[in-house]
């Protein structure tokens, strides 16, 4: 049976208990949900490094107490040098290695953009305090963390950088220390989050990327900034649903729910209910795969579709209640990391921060301490 947890003074949820505690501590110290989410995000980069880090991307969805909703796209663009010539002779961008680390990491810019609009008063050093502590003093490796490290070790321990020295051989209960990551977080706390893209820290990052063989240069970092965006929205009955716009696949989740709502009512968890959800997902994924990508090159407006009841009715009508649509499309690897916070004022934050799949490109900076990611993280 589903049970909704309720609280009047705030709430935090995250995939690791230490990250949730970091966000809760910020709320208890008078911070708001945005400040708490930054603390969660930074802590996850330390305690949950296989799925998120300062070398990844971030997407924010914020609902204000007055009913307004806004979003942040903290997804970095491809490096200027990441052209077809760079991948000549290859049939795809590699999943691991220097040529996979080919886009600007947008995560930290998302923190910066969110805090600029937060109205919060806590200093950055307080928001990053727990993350820095766990990086420098260490965190116990969980069973699931040890299992992932063991499963991925064969393909990652030989990658250039510090992955093997940092993570290889960590068993359940081992103390994982990441002093290089802690030092980088301290620099961000002291110099400001913009230092990741401009200034001496950015120059250090760029030099390491260049030495690695990544196409990302200092000029790419300097050109990056998180973008404020209008979230996509659709009505399902009396409820307004929101999600982030492309390059994310937020349109897909909204389409699934909008289409499933149009199908004949079925008892929850019945065959008809599950069949309808699966078939609605297929229709949404067909739209996503055909149309969603870099918004600068898209030929359709996802919000126009979500606001067109007749078009949604037509999509739902394609679903056969008796037969499954053939699905020859191969599955793709990928996963992501979600967390959220709410405060006493009624502000709610939903955030995704990801390296797309376990450890992304596999490159871990010897001096910065964070795994990098691949361009496909934009579709998380």
- Phi then psi for residue 15, to 5 deg, are -75, 0
- In terms of DSSP bridges, do strands 69-74 and 175-176 run parallel, antiparallel, or are they unpaired? unpaired
CA distance between the termini of the chain: 29
Exposure of 257 in the CB half-sphere (CA atoms within 13 A): 15
Give, in degrees to the nearest 5, the angle at Cα 50 between 148 and 215: 130
DSSP 8-state symbol, 371: B
336 is catalytic: yes
Q: In the sheet that 338-343 helps form, which strands lie side by side, from edge to edge?
A: 10-13, 338-343, 348-354, 57-63, 69-74, 227-229
Crossing angle of helices 33-47/179-191, nearest 10°?
150
Give, in degrees to the nearest 5, the angle at Cα 222 between 216 and 228: 105
- In terms of DSSP bridges, do strands 175-176 and 348-354 run parallel, antiparallel, or are they unpaired? unpaired
How far apart CA 256 and CA 268 sit, in angstroms, is 16
176 strand-pairing partners: 139
Closest CA to 25 of 148, 178, 131: 131
Selected catalytic residue, list 103, 107, 336, 355: 336
What are the residues whose beta carbons fall under 8 Å from the beta carbon of 12, sequence distance 6 or more?
Answer: 20, 23, 24, 27, 36, 40, 339, 340, 341, 342
How far apart CA 182 and CA 261 sit, in angstroms, is 47
Cβ 334 vs Cβ 380: under 8 Å: yes
Strand, helix or coil at 295? coil
Distance set, CA 104 to CA 31, 56, 182, 222 (Å): 29, 8, 21, 10
Distance set, CA 245 to CA 54, 229, 233, 313 (Å): 22, 8, 9, 22
User: What residues are labeled active site?
Assistant: 336
């Amino acid at each position: 049976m589903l049970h909704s947890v309720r609280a009047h003074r705030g709430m935090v949820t995250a995939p690791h208990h230490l990250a949730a505690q970091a966000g809760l501590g910020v709320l208890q110290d008078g911070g708001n949900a945005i400040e708490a989410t930054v603390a969660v995000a930074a802590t996850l980069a330390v305690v949950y490094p296989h799925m998120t880090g300062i070398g990844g991307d971030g997407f924010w969805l914020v609902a204000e107490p007055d009913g307004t909703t806004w979003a942040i796209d903290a997804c970095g663009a491809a490096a200027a040098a990441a052209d077809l010539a760079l991948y000549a002779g290859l049939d795809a961008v590699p999943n691991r290695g220097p040529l996979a680390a080919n886009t600007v990491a947008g995560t930290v810019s998302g923190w910066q953009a969110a805090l600029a609009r937060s109205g919060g008063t806590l200093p950055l050093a307080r928001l990053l305090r727990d993350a820095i502590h766990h990086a420098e003093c260490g965190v116990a490796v969980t069973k699931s963390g040890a299992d992932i490290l063991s499963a991925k070790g064969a393909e990652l321990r030989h990658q250039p950088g510090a992955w093997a020295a940092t993570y290889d051989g960590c068993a359940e209960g081992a103390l994982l220390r990441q002093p290089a990551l802690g030092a980088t977080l301290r620099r961000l706390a002291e110099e400001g989050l913009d230092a990741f893209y401009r200034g001496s820290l950015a120059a250090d990052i760029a030099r390491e990327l260049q030495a690695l063989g990544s196409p990302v240069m200092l000029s790419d970092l300097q050109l990056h900034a998180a973008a404020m965006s209008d979230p996509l929205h659709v009505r399902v009955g009396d409820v307004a649903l929101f999600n982030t716009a492309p390059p994310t696949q937020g349109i897909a989740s909204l389409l699934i729910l909008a289409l499933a709502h149009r199908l004949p009512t079925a008892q929850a968890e019945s065959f008809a209910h599950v069949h309808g959800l699966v078939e609605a997902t297929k229709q949404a994924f067909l739209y996503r795969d055909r149309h969603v990508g870099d918004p600068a090159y898209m030929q359709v407006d996802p919000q126009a579709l979500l606001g067109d009841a007749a078009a949604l009715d037509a999509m739902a009508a394609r679903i056969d209640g008796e037969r499954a649509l053939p699905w020859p499309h191969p599955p793709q690897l990928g996963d992501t990391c979600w967390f959220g916070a709410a405060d006493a004022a009624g502000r709610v934050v939903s955030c995704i921060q990801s390296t797309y799949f376990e450890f992304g490109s596999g490159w871990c900076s010897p001096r910065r301490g964070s795994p990098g990611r691949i361009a496909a993280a934009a579709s998380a």
